[in-house]
A and B are shown apart, each in its own frame.
Chain A
């Protein structure tokens, strides 16, 4: 072996004109790296792909959850004070309150004082609800039943924001409330669902006292696994009688720089 037999063994990432390496780097991430350009704009393929993803995101926001799905999942349908999709985006405050007739319906059709009140809501992605909730919800219900936790009557809220669970939980005097809600879609996935939960729900309760499991979708936390994890987390919330930052009291050792 001669001393220069290593001449061609340099690190290929040093060579910035190496198209092959650039391709590999770009392939490692779903972000739009190295799409190229045609004059001042992206090439047609990349532009179409971008518009398709953007269309999927818009659809997730503006479409409605299919009524038959709500029926199949045996959910009681409620509405917030929001009138339509445009108002939903413009007035987050209305998405946190239930319409008058829905409050009546809540008391008529749902059992009071459940251990865990389950709420499903479209939020900003109906697509997320349609793809993930049918897998997640049965796991969650079976798991909680297994632990003798009463889940009452699960409901579906159209045009809901996270804090609508405070209203529903307070009205029904639930020990704990969990909301499965579609997240603001990105250009990577429009199917991301989150589960927020709170112990002792009441109107105006602080966000800091809510816990969350996020990124629930097929290429994130799989919905079935999220369901099983929520069972453990909710059982812990009921046992500790706390949620959110109150659960992490022992972890809160802030250090100040002297």
Chain B
């Protein structure tokens, strides 16, 4: 017998460099039959697809928070739902918007005001993954077993996520999701240069300045943008995008435009999907390259014309300009394993910083303890316990699921948790199905407020939001995310 339960109503909000959007979706949860199975989101239906709106700015450095909040309200009204009816979802600030001075308070305010359990998120790598899940690139990789890159080209940044479907199978622990092989992000987008109706340059953002200087191109605010200069600028941008997808090796300009570290290995791509405001135009570039008052149209045309791109298998995106917001609205919430150990009174928890306990499971008990101690020390050095809801330790690999092993881990945890203030809740996350036995064993030695969640993959440096129990109280919704502003 399959346990059905009502769908969760989820919101996605994306505040991007050029445009912002919101969508409302319903996530259907099912618990498959059998005691070993955990609940999962089995269907995602978008019930309201908001308008694409220009991101309101007060000035070049400040987002107009009130106007963003007002448009979200209008979208909720149009969707016919109130914030109280929104169960979950995510707000993400993307592209150059994530670097604006008030980006951080903006996402936290929207997350707090628009639903019961809506996560605040930011970070180029997360954005790349959400766009690739929203565009259908991840599903394409899973279906074909290939390696598919999603190239989300927006106004300020290009976010590439590479999905590897070759290992997509049920390994008995419920992780049958496609894996994200890597992400590659760079400061290239359609809105790096804006032009007015007469073809004069209105603004040049720092990455565009980097490119112009590297190529010794005359690009100045107020003067006309020469067609040859424009073409060379766009061609350099496309080269950087293609280079970033195909490298290493990477061109010096690609390196200087990249966000975060660059990978060491070349991907063997079996397909590519373009999404984002500019990516949407790759298939049908506008006749007038300045139709949008920036480089977007021309950039799309230049991508479509690029020799390397023409050699790729390019798949149609399921979502284009809304890929990221659809990813945020439908793909951020996951469910923990069914057997969990909970102190429900502390839920929901938001923005919980995560430290990973990783390393060889064959370690001796002593080195094992040291790794737990190091994880807590790391988290306390980065976060003031007085300013977070909780802290989380993620255990990569528990090892063999024996009672002896669980007791060793509980001991190591107990001593590692000693420096953490006793009133601060602690979340312990494991990938293997062992939360209940670990929780029960820990409970014997500690009184602190404790949540043990299993069947979740969380890395150090991530943040975790945990909602109130769902699926008959046996599982909790969780959002694994990053909060990287100003990358």
Residues A1 and B304 in contact, CB atoms below 8 Å apart: yes
Q: Which residues of A contact B170 (CB under 8 A)?
A: 28
Q: Which residues of A contact B341 (CB under 8 A)?
A: 228
Q: Which residues of B contact A1 (CB under 8 A)?
A: 282-283, 304-305, 309-310, 314
Query: Does residue A13 face the partner (Cβ distance < 8 Å to B)?
Result: yes
* Among candidates A5, A24, A220, residue contacting B314 with C-beta atoms closer than 8 Å: A5
Tell me the B301-339 residues at the A interface (CB within 8 Å): 304-305, 309-310, 313-316, 339
Query: Does residue B169 face the partner (Cβ distance < 8 Å to A)?
Result: yes
Query: Does residue A231 face the partner (Cβ distance < 8 Å to B)?
Result: yes
In the A-B complex, the 3 residue pairs with the smallest Cβ-Cβ separation, listed nearest first, are A228-B436, A228-B437, A220-B36
Q: How far is the CB of B5 from chain A (nearest CB, A)?
A: 11
Q: Which residues of A contact B461 (CB under 8 A)?
A: none
Residues A221 and B35 in contact, CB atoms below 8 Å apart: yes
Q: Which residues of B contact A2 (CB under 8 A)?
A: 310
Contact indicator per residue, chain A 209-220, by CB within 8 Å of chain B (1) or not (0) = 000011110111
Q: Which residues of A contact B446 (CB under 8 A)?
A: none
Q: Which residues of B contact A222 (CB under 8 A)?
A: 401, 432-434
Tell me the A1-53 residues at the B interface (CB within 8 Å): 1-2, 5-6, 8-9, 11-13, 20-21, 24, 27-28
Contact indicator per residue, chain B 163-189, by CB within 8 Å of chain A (1) or not (0) = 000101110100000000000000000
* Among candidates B143, B283, B403, residue contacting A135 with C-beta atoms closer than 8 Å: B403
Residues B440 and A228 in contact, CB atoms below 8 Å apart: yes
Of A12, A142, A221, A228, most buried by chain B (CB within 10 Å of CB) is A228
Which chain A residue shows the least CB distance to B305? Answer: A1
In the bound complex, what is the Cα–Cα distance between A215 and B439 (angstroms)?
A: 22
In the bound complex, what is the Cα–Cα distance between A139 and B439 (angstroms)?
A: 12
Q: Which residues of A contact B166 (CB under 8 A)?
A: 24
Query: Does residue B210 face the partner (Cβ distance < 8 Å to A)?
Result: no
A-B contact pairs, 22 of them (CB 8 A): A1-B282, A1-B314, A6-B313, A6-B314, A9-B271, A20-B145, A27-B169, A28-B168, A139-B403, A139-B440, A143-B440, A146-B444, A216-B35, A220-B35, A221-B35, A221-B36, A222-B401, A224-B403, A225-B339, A225-B433, A225-B434, A231-B440
Q: Which residues of A contact B (CB under 8 A)?
A: 1-2, 5-6, 8-9, 11-13, 20-21, 24, 27-28, 135, 138-139, 142-143, 146, 213-216, 218-229, 231-232
Q: Which residues of B contact A221 (CB under 8 A)?
A: 35-36, 339, 433
Q: Which residues of A contact B443 (CB under 8 A)?
A: 146
Q: Which residues of A contact B439 (CB under 8 A)?
A: 228
Residues B339 and A228 in contact, CB atoms below 8 Å apart: yes
Q: A227-B403, A228-B439 are in contact. List 5 more A-B contacts (CB 8 A).
A: A5-B314, A12-B144, A220-B172, A221-B36, A225-B434
Q: Which residues of B contact A232 (CB under 8 A)?
A: 436
Tell me the B337-355 residues at the A interface (CB within 8 Å): 339, 341
Q: Which residues of B contact A9 (CB under 8 A)?
A: 271, 313-315
* Among candidates A27, A138, A214, A225, residue contacting B401 with C-beta atoms closer than 8 Å: A225
Residues B444 and A135 in contact, CB atoms below 8 Å apart: no
Q: How far is the CB of A143 from chain B (nearest CB, A)?
A: 5
In the bound complex, what is the Cα–Cα distance between A13 and B146 (angstroms)?
A: 12
Question: Known: A21-B145, A222-B433. Contact between A214 and B34, CB under 8 A?
Answer: yes
Query: Does residue B402 face the partner (Cβ distance < 8 Å to A)?
Result: yes
In the bound complex, what is the Cα–Cα distance between A9 and B274 (angstroms)?
A: 14
Tell me the B145-167 residues at the A interface (CB within 8 Å): 145, 166
Residues A219 and B172 in contact, CB atoms below 8 Å apart: yes
* Among candidates A139, A215, A219, residue contacting B437 with C-beta atoms closer than 8 Å: A139
Query: Does residue B122 face the partner (Cβ distance < 8 Å to A)?
Result: no
Residues B437 and A28 in contact, CB atoms below 8 Å apart: no
Residues A227 and B310 in contact, CB atoms below 8 Å apart: no
Residues B304 and A225 in contact, CB atoms below 8 Å apart: no
Residues A227 and B437 in contact, CB atoms below 8 Å apart: yes
Q: Which residues of B contact A229 (CB under 8 A)?
A: 35, 339, 436
Which chain A residue shows the least CB distance to B271? Answer: A9
In the bound complex, what is the Cα–Cα distance between A228 and B339 (angstroms)?
A: 9
Query: Does residue B236 face the partner (Cβ distance < 8 Å to A)?
Result: no
Q: Which residues of A contact B145 (CB under 8 A)?
A: 20-21, 24
In the bound complex, what is the Cα–Cα distance between A146 and B172 (angstroms)?
A: 31
Residues B437 and A8 in contact, CB atoms below 8 Å apart: no
Residues A135 and B169 in contact, CB atoms below 8 Å apart: no
Q: Which residues of B contact A21 (CB under 8 A)?
A: 144-145
In the bound complex, what is the Cα–Cα distance between A2 and B306 (angstroms)?
A: 11
Q: How far is the CB of B165 from chain A (nearest CB, A)?
A: 9
Which chain B residue shows the least CB distance to A21? Answer: B145
Residues B304 and A146 in contact, CB atoms below 8 Å apart: no
In the bound complex, what is the Cα–Cα distance between A143 and B282 (angstroms)?
A: 61
Q: Which residues of A contact B124 (CB under 8 A)?
A: none
Contact indicator per residue, chain B 434-460, by CB within 8 Å of chain A (1) or not (0) = 111101100110000000000000000
* Among candidates B143, B432, B435, residue contacting A11 with C-beta atoms closer than 8 Å: B143
* Among candidates B271, B314, B401, B444, residue contacting A218 with C-beta atoms closer than 8 Å: B401
Q: Which residues of B contact A214 (CB under 8 A)?
A: 34-35
In the bound complex, what is the Cα–Cα distance between A13 and B168 (angstroms)?
A: 15
Q: Which residues of A contact B379 (CB under 8 A)?
A: none
Of B145, B316, B433, most buried by chain A (CB within 10 Å of CB) is B145
Tell me the B44-73 residues at the A interface (CB within 8 Å): none
Residues A225 and B305 in contact, CB atoms below 8 Å apart: no
Query: Does residue B233 face the partner (Cβ distance < 8 Å to A)?
Result: no
Residues B401 and A224 in contact, CB atoms below 8 Å apart: yes
Q: Which residues of A contact B35 (CB under 8 A)?
A: 213-216, 220-221, 226, 229
Q: How far is the CB of A216 from chain B (nearest CB, A)?
A: 8
Residues B436 and A135 in contact, CB atoms below 8 Å apart: no
In the bound complex, what is the Cα–Cα distance between A232 and B473 (angstroms)?
A: 13
In the bound complex, what is the Cα–Cα distance between A214 and B145 (angstroms)?
A: 32
Q: Which residues of B contact A5 (CB under 8 A)?
A: 310, 313-314
Which chain A residue shows the least CB distance to B301? Answer: A1
Q: How far is the CB of B1 from chain A (nearest CB, A)?
A: 10
In the bound complex, what is the Cα–Cα distance between A142 and B437 (angstroms)?
A: 11
In the bound complex, what is the Cα–Cα distance between A28 and B145 (angstroms)?
A: 11
Query: Does residue B406 face the partner (Cβ distance < 8 Å to A)?
Result: yes
